[in-house]
């Protein structure tokens, strides 16, 4: 079956994968995207004991708790005060310490330069239009050769939806206008970013990209994942000064 072009999305409410991790509170804590095997995150992140990890966005709050439980010193910045409050409650219930900061994802003035061993952004940068502003600030706080791991909605997953058992295009790949989503009362905005844009912006922000993955979901969270990758996962390292 070939995808058919239709003029507009069949529903104003986007599939749950667009707003990940919203709706995934019961899934694996360290999944980098909807339906992705948590072993992928383990392989990319590696050992965390004693490391200073910067988490961009709290998500469900469980990523920071999981990393802190593995011995990491976790610092998290989150634009939503409601999510910060919820994440703190989750950390308190788990009896682990996570340092939370309410603010823009690029507002990292509270972190001194060259102090972070790993930065992690699980779908949080999907809400950011200017990736370069965030990447430059993350580069400043990372130690030389330290990694930034970013996962985003795959751009192909943002231009199609399942209808009548198969994929149908709802917008062009070149449409950069924001996508609004809503799920169980939570709302958000996704800014589409092409693979080339993300990689080029990382290079211009003094990162060396060493891993680009378009993994197939291992859990069937959405039929769209049978046709196109739903997540883009990139690991980049800060270039030595």
When pLDDT is cut at 50, 70 and 90, the band that residue 85 belongs to is very high
Mean pLDDT of 111-134: 96
pLDDT at 16: 52
Mean predicted lDDT score pLDDT of the chain? 89
**pLDDT surpasses 50 at 12:** no
pLDDT of residue 241: 62
State the residue for tokens 């060396």.
Answer: 208
Residues in the chain, total? 241
pLDDT-derived band at 27, boundaries 50, 70, 90: confident
Q: Where are the domains of the chain?
A: 31-153+195-238
pLDDT at position 223: 80
Q: What percent of the chain has pLDDT over 90?
A: 73
Cβ neighbours of 76 (radius 10 Å): 28
The pLDDT, as a whole number, for residue 121 is 97
User: Which CATH number applies to 31-153+195-238?
Assistant: 3.40.50.150
Query: What whole-number distance in Å separates Cα of residue 235 and Cα of residue 151?
Result: 9
- Residue 24 predicted with pLDDT over 90: no
Q: Is the pLDDT score of 59 beyond 90?
A: no
- Adjacent-strand bridge partners of 76: 55, 100
- How far is the CA of 195 from the CAs of 13, 107, 156, 200, 231, in angstroms? 25, 25, 10, 9, 11
SS3 annotation, 95-152: CCCEEEEECCCCCCCCCCCCCEEEEEEECHHHHCCCHHHHHHHHHHHEEEEEEEEEEE
- Give the torsion through C-alpha atoms of 224, 190, 107, 100, to 10 deg: -50
């Amino acid at each position: 079956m070939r995808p058919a072009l239709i003029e507009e999305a069949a529903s104003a409410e986007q599939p749950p994968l667009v707003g990940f991790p919203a709706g995934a509170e019961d899934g694996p804590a360290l999944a980098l995207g909807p339906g992705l095997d948590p072993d992928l995150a383990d392989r990319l992140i590696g050992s965390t004991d004693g490391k200073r990890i910067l988490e961009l966005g709290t998500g469900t709050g469980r990523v920071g708790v999981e990393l802190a439980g593995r011995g990491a010193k976790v610092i998290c910045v989150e634009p939503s005060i409601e999510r910060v409050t919820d994440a703190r409650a989750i950390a308190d219930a788990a009896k682990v310490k996570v340092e939370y900061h309410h603010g823009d994802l690029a507002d990292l003035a509270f972190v001194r330069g060259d102090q972070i061993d790993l930065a992690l952004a699980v779908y949080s940068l999907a809400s950011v239009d200017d990736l370069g502003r965030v990447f430059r600030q993350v580069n400043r706080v990372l130690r030389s050769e330290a990694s930034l791991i970013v996962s985003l909605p795959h751009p192909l997953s943002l231009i199609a939806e399942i209808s009548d058992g198969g994929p149908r295009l709802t917008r062009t790949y070149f449409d950069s206008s924001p996508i609004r989503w809503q799920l169980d009362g939570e709302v958000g905005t996704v800014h589409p970013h092409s693979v080339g844009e993300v990689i080029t912006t990382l290079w211009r922000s003094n990162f060396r990209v060493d891993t680009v993955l378009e993994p197939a979901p291992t859990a069937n969270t959405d039929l769209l994942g049978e046709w196109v990758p739903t997540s883009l996962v990139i690991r980049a390292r800060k270039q030595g000064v």
